[in-house]
Amino acid sequence: AQSVTQLDSQVPVFEEAPVELRCNYSSSVSVYLFWYVQYPNQGLQLLLKYLSGSTLVKGINGFEAEFNKSQTSFHLRKPSVHISDTAEYFCAVKRSNDYKLSFGAGTTVTVRA
Amino acid sequence: DAGVIQSPRHEVTEMGQEVTLRCKPISGHDYLFWYRQTMMRGLELLIYFNNNVPIDDSGMPEDRFSAKMPNASFSTLKIQPSEPRDSAVYFCASSPLGGGYEQYFGPGTRLTVT
């Protein structure tokens, strides 16, 4: 079995400040990792993914994440947020031996001016 | 590319009625997924198909739920009879074989059962 834990349910942040969203996972097999963003009343959109190779991955809209195998973490960061980054962010895990994604509970980011 | 298309976008129905949600995946995608999103349970995978064949329906909550994919361009999720606890946003997503395993989500159907 696998599980995904997003450690913060809500993260308020001021515009132009940095933000970090934490994600930990557990799995008995190797995994692929994803971050998705959901804007209000929309579907989910892929921000970035880690499949293999460099543990630091860069995504759209200035986001990046670092895979840490020893700590089973995949934290998402952005050095300077905009009002438009206000959304819900989901960490997701896919086991290497099937096609399903397991999602974390989500982190709501609210950016204030 | 139009992306994943879902209809209707909103559905309000009375308890006991049959509800059918529809999804058109992105052309050429081999996998199709149905999810349910609620505040209490978050995002749950209900069922997924590969080349129109159901692969894993372990997330389907009970016999009132059924899903079909009669061809590569169309899938339905049916609830019969519907109950208030089925109120949620239902998402359809599709994914190509390989391609980095990214799933492309539709805009969702917001279902309210009164």
For A58-110, how does the pLDDT look when each residue is reduced to its tens digit (9 = 90+)? 999 999 999 999 999 999 999 999 999 999 999 999 988 788 899 999 999 99
Sign of the four-CA dihedral B77, A46, A105, A55: positive
Strands A73-78, A19-21: pairing kind: antiparallel
Element (H, E) at A73: strand A73-78
pLDDT in tens, A6-33: 999 999 999 999 999 999 999 888 889 9
Given an 8 Å threshold on Cβ–Cβ distance, is B45 in contact with A100?
A: yes
Whether the CB of A44 is below 8 Å from some CB of chain B: the reply is yes
Shortest CA distance from A32: residue in chain B? B101
Q: How far is A82 from chain B (nearest CA, A)?
A: 23
CA contacts within 13 A on the Cβ side of A3: 3
Type of residue found at A106: G
Question: What residues in B contact A50, CB-CB < 8 Å?
Answer: none
> Which residues have CB under 8 Å from A91's CB, separation 6+?
A4, A6, A21, A23, A25, A33, A34, A35, A74, A76, A103, A104
Q: Which of B55, B100, B107 comes nearest A42 by C-beta?
A: B107
Whether the CB of B25 is below 8 Å from some CB of chain A: the reply is no
Q: Is B6 exposed, middle or buried (0-12, 13-18, 19+ CB in 10 A)?
A: buried
Whether the CB of B55 is below 8 Å from some CB of chain A: the reply is yes
Q: How sure is the predictor about B71, in pLDDT bands with cuts at 50, 70 and 90?
A: very high
Shortest CA distance from B101: residue in chain A? A99
